[in-house]
Structure 1
Amino acid sequence: GLDAAGFLENSTNFNAIMNSKGLFAYNKGTNVSFSVTVRNKQGTGSGYVEQDFNDLAKMDTLALSKIAASKANGSAGAKAIEPGKYTVILEPLAASDMLGNMFRGFDARSADEGRSFMSKKGGGTRLGEQLFSENVNIYSDPMNPELPSATWRGDGLPVKRTQWVEKGVVKNLSYSRYWAAQKNVEPIPFSRSIVMEGGNQSLEDLIKSTEKGILVTRFWYIRSVDPQTLLLTGLTRDGTFYIENGEIKFPLKNFRFNESPVIMLNNVEALGKPVRTGTGMIPPMKIRDFTFTSLSDAI
């Protein structure tokens, strides 16, 4: 038998802003989110799925629940292998867990003040530098039909399509009104509607292309180790599996990792088709030399 617990939230929203200087803006939208954790009765296997849409008709809770149940059954009897550097297939949720921490580093003020991985040694920022593999392209667009969002921020700044990374090169940083005034530049708000471009391969295609590797469902308990290099540490969770000759062979005990999304995005071997994860569109990723440092008994 299996135990399950989850959330289903369907919401509508309306926001408006106006001031005495003639500003008036409004936005209305909908969102539906579903997440479920499934565990076996023995507490030795766990699976998880999470999905967001703006259209309730797109949500298939039964299909998603079956995926979580399959992972719960499939992750029982996990084996331990030595930590180290492995090729990994990160499901979109796992990739999103890592990238969410990176996106916060695109703030221009923290970069100018030497507090982020976007800070240049000796002063200044790394704007215009190639920090990632050439196949890394990231932009935000509030008008993207798969993840529409407000076209203005709470302070009234308009939010437009913005290219953050193009062919691995940092193209823009986010400037608040205050910091833009300090630097005499136009303010650039950061949008929640982040899209990382990928290819046409499915998650299954990436698995089939892997001779030896590890499939990661998601990460949790992620903490910063070094903001300057964006080194993070955290744990795998809810389904970690060993891949051999293009097939999932057996479940693995969870790992602790020490890895930087910056290094990760320099070790990209393949990107799959982006899917909606929270407020972003993120592809599954095949990454080489991902660093696992120890084992965890948690499921």
Structure 2
Amino acid sequence: MAGRVLELVRAAAGAGAEAAVSVERRALALTRFANSYIHQNLAEDATTIGLRLHAGGRTVTGSSSITSADGLADLVNRTVEAVRHAPADPGWPGLAPPAPLAGEPSFDEATAAAPADARAERVRGFVAAAGGLETAGYCRTGSWSGAFANSAGHTVSERTSEAAMDGIARRDGADGVARLASARLTDLSGAELGNRAAAKARAGVDPVELPPGRYQVVLEPAAVADLLAMLAAFGFSGRAQAEKRTFAELGAAQFDRSVTLDDDPFRPGSPGHAYDLDGTVRRRLTLVDAGVTSALPHDRRTAAQVGTDSTGHGVRFFGALDALPGNLRLVPADGDPAGQAPDLMVPAAAPLLAGVDRGLLVSDFWYTRVLDPKTLVVTGLTRNGVWLIEGGEITRPVQNLRFTQSYPQALGPGAVTGIGSVADLLPAGLLPAWPSVPPVHLASWQFTGGASG
């Protein structure tokens, strides 16, 4: 189909026009539950054709979901007509040259074709493990397949699959959460997730109020994922670097030596994409190496603006083009996984408690908003479980707290006291990405008050 669109472009715009065509098929199936009952099953299967055309020094993009011959012809004709009226594009970086893929993302046929009863089985396990507590959430499966071709002779194709589950349990106003993602549905245990969510809810009843101030924190993976999402969107962004609004400084020791961040679309068991919107092939990229900011992701346009090469990270983010990590991972610490751990936490967090004299165990962050994108000061709230840690032991639940904290500062030199030895892959959230995150122990986190103000 991509080749056919290129033929139509050559006929309509001439051999001198530069064109890039992407064909993407996204199949998604979702099972939702609330009040401990499945209340919705839905599925969608959509194909989208995208066309980027550069002719006469002007650039436009067009798209269509009509894959018939008439639909493809209409897409080309509309785009060719639009480029005649577009403003000049002096920053056009040219087309991606031919290059082989660096690898294949994870794909599981059984997950891509999973029936509703396979998702319902996970929901049943979650609800049963909650032991009568009220539960709600979702289980989803899906796949993405794509093909890309441009008039420079570059062609690539790929496919990947995803399964994700996210659920809460509630008791007497206290919520507990558990979530996980994978390229394989068989990696998700509804019973295991339901047991953890229920344990959090039961342990969260009758929370105490704590005064604002700086506390040591052990952040579970869901909370750490928010840090990574903000770091990616506002710091490790090719567009942010080109516009000089990122905190990231290449070659600077901006993070604790224990912090290494990488981006690998071919990590086993994780969904991923082997090329970007420009068709540029992706490779593993180390963004932070032992605390030193070592690289930033780029698409062709942002790379040209700062005088470097594209890393294959072009995405569309909130309607705008950007270059962002798609598989950002905080590399876990060396060591064996934890043995016995309280049911209310991920096992890898348990060894981190021993280093806390007085601090907080935080399950999740939400409603996080950036106050200063340059320093990445963020305000937000805790949710789904907070507990006081005293003498290395969890002692009591705590009411939700509001915080105001610079995320890079929280991970800065000397600020990271410990990192868990196991990372969880979590469902895509703010970014079109799958974060891989272990729990972390941070020396200081600024809480500014209760959730009500």
What is the CA–CA distance in structure 2 between the aligned matches of 1:27 and 1:280, rounded to whole Å? 20
| Corresponding residue for residue 447 of structure 2 | 292
- Determine whether 1:74 maps to 2:210: no
Secondary structure (helix, strand or coil) at the match of 2:136 reads strand
1:4 aligned to 2:140?
no
Which residue of the partner structure matches residue 255 of structure 1?
Answer: 401
Match of 1:121 in 2: none
Give the number of aligned pairs: 289
Aligned to 1:98: 227
CA contact under 8 A between 2:215 and 2:446: conserved in structure 1?
Answer: yes
CA offsets 1:193-221 (integer angstroms, 9 cap, x no match):
11211213621111233222100000000
Q: Residue 45 of structure 1 contacts residue 76 of structure 1 at CA under 8 Å; is this kept in 2?
A: yes
Find the aligned partners of 2:198 and 2:174 in 1 and give their Cα distance: 9
Letter in 2 for 1:145: P
Structure 2 distance, partners of 1:182, 1:239, is 44
1:130 — aligned with what? 253
Given residue 114 of structure 1, which amino acid in structure 2 is its aligned partner?
K
- For the pair 1:269 / 2:417, whether they are aligned, the reply is yes
Q: Which has the larger radius of gyration?
A: 2
Mapped contact 1:253–1:297 kept (Cα < 8 A): no
- Equivalent positions of 1:158-237 (< 5 A) are 158-188=281-311, 189=313, 190-199=324-333, 200=335, 202-237=348-383
Matching residue of 1:123: none
Determine the C-alpha separation between the residues in 1 that align with 2:325 and 2:305.
21
Q: 1:221 to 1:144 in 2, by over 3 A?
A: same
Once the 2 structures are TM-superposed, how far is the Cα of residue 117 of structure 1 from its aligned partner?
1.7
What is the rounded CA distance, in whole Å, between the counterparts of 2:242 and 2:273 in structure 1?
Answer: 28
Which of 151, 155, 159 in structure 1 is aligned with 2:274?
151
- 2:247 aligns with 117
Deviation at 1:55, TM superposition (A): 1.1
Mapped pair 1:282 → 2:437:
yes
Q: Is the 8 A contact 2:242 2:306 kept in 1?
A: no
Instruction: Kindly state the Cα deviation for residue 116 of structure 1 after the two structures are TM-superposed.
Output: 2.4
Identity %: 30
Query: Counterpart of 1:170 in structure 2: which amino acid?
Result: T
* 1:33 equivalent in alignment to 2:164: yes
Structure 1 residue 297, shift from structure 2 partner: 4.9
TM-align CA RMSD? 1.6
- For residues 260 and 286 of structure 1, the distance between their equivalents in structure 2, rounded to whole angstroms, comes to 16
- Whether the aligned pair in 2 keeps the contact of 1:210 and 1:243 (CA below 8 Å) is yes
Distance 1:18 1:113 in 2: 29
Bigger relative contact order, structure 1 or 2 (CA pairs below 8 A, ≥6 apart): 1
Gaps of 5+ in 1: 119-125
State whether residues 256 and 296 of structure 1, in contact with CA within 8 Å, keep that contact through their aligned partners in structure 2.
yes
Cα distance in 2 for residues equivalent to 1:294 and 1:92: 23
Per mean C-alpha deviation after superposition, the further-off stretch among 198-207 and 164-173 is 198-207
SS in structure 1 at match of 2:143: strand
Residue deviations 1:177-204, cap 9 Å, x none? Answer: 1122233321122431112112136211
Cα deviation code 1:134-181 (max 9, x no counterpart)? 111111111111324111012201110111001111111122211222
SS in 1 for 2:229: helix
Q: Equivalent residue for 1:107?
A: 237
Could you say which residue in structure 1 is the equivalent of 2:24?
A: none
Question: Partner residue of 1:16?
Answer: 147
TM-score scaled by length of structure 1 = 0.92
